[in-house]
Each structure stands twice: as structure tokens, then as C-alpha cells.
Amino acid sequence: MENSGLNKTEEGDRIFFWPSEEIKQKACVNSSEVYDQAEKDPVAFWEDLASKGIAWFSKWEKAYEEKIPDFKWFIGAETNAAYNCLDRHLNDKGDKTALIWIPEIKEEEAKKYSYRQLYEEVNKAANVLKSLGVKKGDVVTIYLPMIPEIIISVLACARIGAVHSVVFSAYSAEALNTRLKDGGSEVMITSDGYYRKGKIEDLKKKANEGIQDTNVKKVLVVKRTGNETEITEKDLWWHEQLEKADNECEAVKMKSEDLLFLLYTSGTTGKPKGVMHDTGGYITQAYWTSKWDFDLHEDDVMWCTSDLGWVTGHSYVCYGPLLNGITTVLFEGLIDWPNPERPWEIIEEHKISVFYTAPTALRLMMSHGKEIPEKFGLESLRVLGSVGECIDQKTWLWYLNSVGKGKCPLIDTWWQTETGGTMINSLPGVGPFIPAWAGNSFPGTRHTIIDEEGNEVIKTGEQGYLVQKSPFAPGLLRGVWKNPERFKKTYWRNDKYYFSGDGAYRDDGGRFRIIGRLDDVLKVAGHRMSTGEMENVIDKHAAVNEAAVIGKPDELRGEVPVAFVITKGEIDDKERLEKELQDMIVKGIGPIAKLKGFYFVESLPKTRSGKIMRRILKSLIKGEEVGDISTLQNPESVEKLKEIIKG
């Protein structure tokens, strides 16, 4: 599709980009009327979208019901997520490429699956799971790298009504263990290994450790690397099982409100939460947010760079594109390995039209110089997206100009594991696209800003907590696995609002600018991590009395974790202690949580009730004024900390 460019206007110190007439004409949505229409009656609006986008086995008796913290969509209706991703495309798109898998090693060829091939693989895998005793409602843990089997496993679970719980393959054995225990899985799917920078990572070793003291009885093992690894009596080779399996397996009729998946995410406490997503609401939202945000058309090839271990991978590598019957790209490797040309080679070779990635990845690409993308033919690109963290103006403009050649709508999508799909962004055919501004709520959803007391902040420009209002988005989480109390306490305010944990403010057009987390959740290179989880790990060291982990601004990764540690008495070998703590972090969580600084201190600023004042630590690390410290139990700690930080 030919590009014709964007129009530009300026308002105060902001630049607005608008879709050209040509982009508008071809776009799925090209007028802001859709927002007004949705706002009049969001429930009727979503009903209409659900009927048009999703194949239902039976219709709903009632569209929406709410009694906070519970709410339901499409009550009584039946559908199946895998059926919607595969079966209904078979007639007219059976031979169309559903999935392009790009291995990390360049010498290995990309592998394509047509919709029919993917359908058959999913059916076989579903039959294998059934033969292992997996039934509707059972939780299956998927601990796989970015290989086709991860998508096949996810859809095989969905097909038989099992609840998938994907655990990021770079998480450690301990992190896997915590998630397995909480989910209660009896069956797990993993692989012998995977490639990282050309070397084999022994995933199976971590898997073997991770299943200790859990309910896991059977482990399906995909042979990816062929490395030698310990095979136990619980293991079954994926390929041997699939070879024997029948390629037809009926898709189970799922109630719209039946669970589709669990995805563990970090909160403010040390224990990860199993975020619960339902079937009908989630797929309705995944379908339409994909279609409208990325302006999907029949011939689109979408590359979302997120790992399937994160929600972005669930919704925009797997479900969203496949529900829409387009081609999705699954890339095993790192964005700049073995060379910084890699992403552009992929875009050129596979004629990617929709590219969706995170600001950290963009900053990394940008750091290699603008001549790198210039060497490639990127004219297949039509829509660009950003997700996961705040994008600064410099990176935004580089993305627009060096990647999109100033012609592609660039959408900055705000959302969370909990919201299931994008919530706040501009639409390609509507605009405007403003650097660092996410935009408006997706049609049919409502967001606002509240203050500490829970009152709505009406004034433009005033910062507060970003919340969602009733009726809640169809894809919003339905609960925290086995923990209704935590669900209620974490996410709901004044019996009225879904509480996001992010700070934001608005402009006159009701557009949102996201400031970032206001709680103790970190976003490191777009990855969501809990300071509490890291502190729990560090606290286990015999020499540690107390620790506080906070995020320190970082040019490339957005923020990085640093630890303030109070030790038990004097320590003679700081370097050794740092190494031991780092090893514990890698073992307890994974390399993504590595600490980027240690400060050994005598005391930490505390309130009179003994709570560590992280706000002060954050200000100190940024070199900002700390403000009023008179209410502290130990105000003298602040001066000492300043000196230690200065080094």
C-alpha cells in the first residue's frame, strides 16, 4: 500500500501529526465520530463489536452486569478462542500464512505455517494434552522460548478449555516454581533449550528445578536445540507425542466468562499475582483493538517484538493478529543480535507492515545511528506502535522519521497486563499523533484521573491517578487467581474505579499523557518488575538486615533497579557481597532483574510507623530536592544518604 504522509500542526509547544486524506480513506476508522457513538452507550457498542468480530456458538442473554469488584460481559454466550483464531479462517484463508517464525540464528531458515497447518498442529497438541488428562479449567504452565510451539501450546489449551499460564523463559527456576505452585498445574510444556546470542541456554535444567515440590506430573518437552539435558520420568517428547496424535480435536464450548488464561505479573508486594482473563470479553477486545489500533487489513504482516511471556505477546503476537486472520511474526532472537541491522533486515525481507515494539528497543536501535535503517527498504511499513513505558519525544520523532519516513501513523499505546488489550492511544485514521502523549481512551472505554481522596480531577494539566470507569472494558481482568481480597484491594477504589497504579494528566481534548507508575512497580526495559520481589530475595542473605530497591532513571532502559542495603554489622568485602546478592537475584528472579547499583547504608529514611520512604530515596537518586522530611523518624539519615549516593 502506498504511503502518502502525515500532516503537521503545532499547538503551544506540542507537535500534532495527522493522517493524510489517503491514509484516512483506507483506514478501518477514519472519523472521531466512533468515539461519540461509543460514548452514548458503551454496552451496546461492545455488543455490536462482539457480534461482528467474534463467532459465537450461542448468543448472550445479557450483555453486561456489574457489582464491583465483579463485572461480566456477554453472559451465557458460548465461544472458543482457538476456534476464532483458526477454524473460521480455514474456508477462505486455509493456505494463507498465519505465522512466520524467525529463528535467532540467521543460518536457520524462517518457518511458515499456513492457517491450515497451524490448525492441525494445534489440534494435535490439544489431543496430546487431553491424553495427559488435561480437562477444561485445568491450568497448564507453558515455559517456552519464542518458538512456534509456544503459540501452538497456547491455542491448544484454549481449544480444550484449559487455562494457559505462560511463564517467561528467562525467568529463573525459583520464579517458575512460585508460579507453578500458585497456579497448581499438573502439566507443563517446556523445551530442551533455546538460543541466546548464538549459545544454547539449558531451559530444561531450570524447568527440572522449577517443578520441585509442585503438582507437576507430566512435562511435554519440545526439542529445540538438541542439547544434552536431563530427561526425567515425567518427561514426554513433544514431537513423539504429536506424531501419534489425531489432527482433529473439537473446540470446547466455553462460556464467555470462563477463564482463558492466567498471566503472572508483578505488584507492589513480593508475591506475583495471577491475573485472570476471561474468554469472550478478552477476545472481543483483542480482535478490535488489533484491528483498529493497527488498522489491520487482509494483507498485513504484523511484527510485535514482545516475548509471549508478557501480555503484549499474548494479545498482539498471538490472539489479536490470528483473530483477524492476518500474518503474525514470531522472532526468537534479540533485536540487535548478531548485528544492529537485524530488525531492518527482518522488516525488509518479510515485508512487515505493522511494527509494534517498546521504547527501550527503539532507543537501542537509535543508538546505532540513523544510517542503519536507511540502508534498508522499509516501504512496506504502514503503522508503527510503541508500548510498555513512556516514550520520550526524541525517540518518538526518530521512530516516526527514521523508521516510518515521516509517513506512518505512530501510536503510543497505554495499557497493562490487567487490561488485556490496549486502552489509551490514537487511531491511525483519526490521530492526532503527539510525541509523548498516548491519546484518547479506546472507543467504548472510559478513563479519568482521580486525586488521593478519589475525587475526579477535572482540570486539564493536573496530575493524578489514572483510573477506568464503568462500564469496564470487556478485556479487563476478572480477578487475581486464588486471591479475591488482593483483587479488591489492589484494583478498586471508592467502589467505582479500576485503579491502574499509573500517574497521568489530560489536555483540553481529553487526551492522556502518562507519567508512569506511582507505586513500587518498576518498568525496566519495558519489563514489569516488583521491587518487593527483589527485596524478598536480597533479604534472604545472612548479612542483610534490611533492603530497599528502587528504580533509577536510565537513558537506555527507562529505569534500572538499585538497592539500598543495611547490613548486619560491618562488612569487609563489599564486592563479594554485591556479587552474592546479584547471584541471588538472578537465581531468584532472572537476569532481567539484575541490580545496577548497591548502596550500603546504616539507615533508611522511615516514617514514624517504620515504613521506608521510597519517595525520598527516589528523589535522592535523581538528585532532586527531597522536600519536607520533618515527619521522619530519622531525618538525619537523609544527609548521610546524599553523601553515599554522591560517592
Least Å distance between CB 643 and ligand WTA? 32
- What's the rounded Cα separation, in Å, for the pair 103 and 227? 17
Determine if 417 is a binding residue for ligand WTA (CB under 6 A). yes
- What's the rounded Cα separation, in Å, for the pair 142 and 149? 10
Contacts of 278 (CB under 8 A, 6+ apart): 73, 256, 257, 258, 259, 260, 478
- What's the rounded Cα separation, in Å, for the pair 156 and 250? 11
- What's the rounded Cα separation, in Å, for the pair 52 and 46? 10
**Among the listed residues 201, 389, 520, 559, the single contact to ligand WTA using CB under 6 A:** 389
Output the nine-digit C-alpha cell for 43: 454496552
> Judged by CB, which is closer to ligand WTA: 121, or 559?
559
Task: List 554's β-bridge partners, or say none.
Answer: 558
Residues written for the chain:
647
Of the candidate spans 68-76, 200-208, 495-503, 597-605, the one that interacts with ligand WTA by CB under 6 A turns out to be 495-503
Output the nine-digit C-alpha cell for 421: 488489550
Output the nine-digit C-alpha cell for 470: 464503568
**Among the listed residues 63, 311, 318, 585, the single contact to ligand WTA using CB under 6 A:** 311
Q: How many residues bind ligand WTA (CB under 6 A)?
A: 23
**Among the listed residues 352, 390, 449, 477, the single contact to ligand WTA using CB under 6 A:** 390
Determine if 511 is a binding residue for ligand WTA (CB under 6 A). no
CB atoms within 10 A of CB 589: 24
- What's the rounded Cα separation, in Å, for the pair 581 and 237? 36
CA distances from 212 to 205, 207, 208, 413 (A): 12, 9, 7, 39
Q: Exposed, middle or buried by CB within 10 Å (0-12, 13-18, 19+), for 579? A: exposed
Determine if 265 is a binding residue for ligand WTA (CB under 6 A). yes
- What's the rounded Cα separation, in Å, for the pair 487 and 171? 24
Determine if 516 is a binding residue for ligand WTA (CB under 6 A). yes
Provide the sign of the torsion angle of the four alpha carbons 476, 482, 484, 489, taken in this order. negative
Residue at shortest CB range from ligand WTA:
417
> Judged by CB, which is closer to ligand WTA: 45, or 433?
433
Of the candidate spans 187-195, 510-518, 552-560, 591-599, the one that interacts with ligand WTA by CB under 6 A turns out to be 510-518
Determine if 318 is a binding residue for ligand WTA (CB under 6 A). no
Least Å distance between CB 541 and ligand WTA? 28
> Judged by CB, which is closer to ligand WTA: 98, or 514?
514
**Among the listed residues 362, 514, 563, 581, the single contact to ligand WTA using CB under 6 A:** 514
User: What are the E-state strand segments in 132-196?
Assistant: 139-143, 163-166, 187-191, 194-196
Dihedral-angle region of residue 118 (phi above 0 means left; psi in -120 to 50 means alpha; beta otherwise): alpha
Within 144-183, the residues that bind ligand WTA by CB under 6 A are: none
**Among the listed residues 257, 332, 502, 559, the single contact to ligand WTA using CB under 6 A:** 502
Least Å distance between CB 263 and ligand WTA? 9
Least Å distance between CB 293 and ligand WTA? 12
Least Å distance between CB 448 and ligand WTA? 16
With beta carbons less than 8 A apart as the criterion, state whether 424 and 438 touch: yes
Of the candidate spans 120-128, 408-416, 439-447, 578-586, the one that interacts with ligand WTA by CB under 6 A turns out to be 408-416
> Judged by CB, which is closer to ligand WTA: 168, or 195?
168
Within 418-447, the residues that bind ligand WTA by CB under 6 A are: 438
Determine if 388 is a binding residue for ligand WTA (CB under 6 A). yes
**Among the listed residues 414, 487, 491, 497, the single contact to ligand WTA using CB under 6 A:** 414
**Among the listed residues 218, 506, 517, 557, the single contact to ligand WTA using CB under 6 A:** 517
Determine if 501 is a binding residue for ligand WTA (CB under 6 A). yes
> Under the rule (CB under 6 A), what is the footprint of ligand WTA?
265, 310-312, 387-390, 412-417, 438, 500-502, 514, 516-517, 523, 528
